[in-house]
């Protein structure tokens, strides 16, 4: 499939709504921070740059990934609110906490997706101004999220598994 075709390919809203709901719920109950969800948009290429990203992969009846990306200070403040301690950005404690947030978002959304899928344990990327590349045949929607301590983004690039011919 060409890149242009992938860009036009819509994402089924049934795949998006569970994530929007789980982001709101996880941040309000587990982090104690209210989240305002802005209008999602198709991810451009190259995408926005972030300092911290947690990646959860999906396999099974839906495949792809959900990535929760932050600027440095926002990630540090959200983890402090979630874990009750301020951790160094490069510490395993910080990675575990920021990964666990993504795990809860993906896990809660998976239940509502109504599909048979597995999620991976989180991969946490730390580095100033990185981007998660868009693959050509996977549509990706960016959901902007605003909180009182800074904004972050949830990038949803999942699609139903295509049956092998």
Alpha-carbon span 84 to 13, nearest angstrom? 35
- For 159, the token pair is 């699609």
Classify residue 24 as left (phi > 0), alpha (psi -120 to 50) or beta.
alpha
Measured distance CA(10)–CA(34) in Å, rounded:
28
Q: Based on CB atoms, which residue is closest to a copy of itself, 6 or 26?
A: 6
Given the complex with a copy of itself, which of 29 and 129 has the nearer CB atom?
A: 129
Q: By CB under 8 A, name the one of 138, 144, 150, 151 that touches a copy of itself.
A: 138
- Report the C-alpha dihedral over residues 125, 126, 131, 133, rounded to 10 degrees: -20
Query: Residue 28 CB, nearest distance to a copy of itself (Å)?
Result: 25
Which position among 30, 37, 42, 63 is part of the footprint of a copy of itself (CB under 8 A)? 63
Task: Point out which span in 11-19, 71-79, 122-130, 142-150 binds a copy of itself (CB under 8 A).
Answer: 122-130
Interface with a copy of itself, residue 139, by CB under 8 A:
no
DSSP symbols for 63-108:
EEEEEEEE-HHHHHHHHHHHHSS---TTSHHHHHHHHHHHHHHHHH
Question: Hunting for tokens 């990327």 — which residue is that?
Answer: 125
User: Toward a copy of itself, which CB reaches closer, 40 or 155?
Assistant: 155
**Is there binding between residue 33 and a copy of itself (CB under 8 A)?**
no
* Nearer Cβ to a copy of itself (136/146): 136
Contact between 67 and a copy of itself by CB under 8 A: the answer reads: yes
Residues at the contact surface with a copy of itself, assessed by CB under 8 A: 3, 45-46, 49, 53, 55-60, 63-65, 67, 90-96, 99, 118-136, 138
């Amino acid at each position: 499939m060409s890149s242009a075709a992938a860009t036009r390919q819509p994402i089924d809203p049934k795949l998006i709504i569970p994530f929007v709901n789980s982001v709101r719920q996880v941040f309000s109950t587990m982090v104690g921070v209210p989240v305002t969800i802005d209008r999602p948009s198709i991810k451009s290429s190259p995408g926005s740059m972030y300092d911290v990203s947690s990646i959860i992969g999906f396999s099974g009846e839906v495949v792809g990934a959900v990535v929760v990306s932050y600027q440095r200070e926002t990630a540090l403040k959200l983890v402090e609110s979630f874990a009750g301690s301020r951790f160094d950005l490069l510490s395993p404690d910080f990675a575990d906490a920021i990964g666990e947030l993504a795990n809860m978002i993906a896990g809660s959304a998976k239940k509502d997706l109504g599909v048979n899928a597995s999620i991976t344990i989180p991969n946490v990327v730390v580095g100033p101004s990185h981007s998660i590349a868009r693959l050509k045949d996977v549509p990706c929607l960016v959901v902007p999220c605003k909180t009182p301590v800074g904004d972050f983004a949830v990038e949803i690039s999942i699609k139903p598994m295509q049956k092998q011919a």
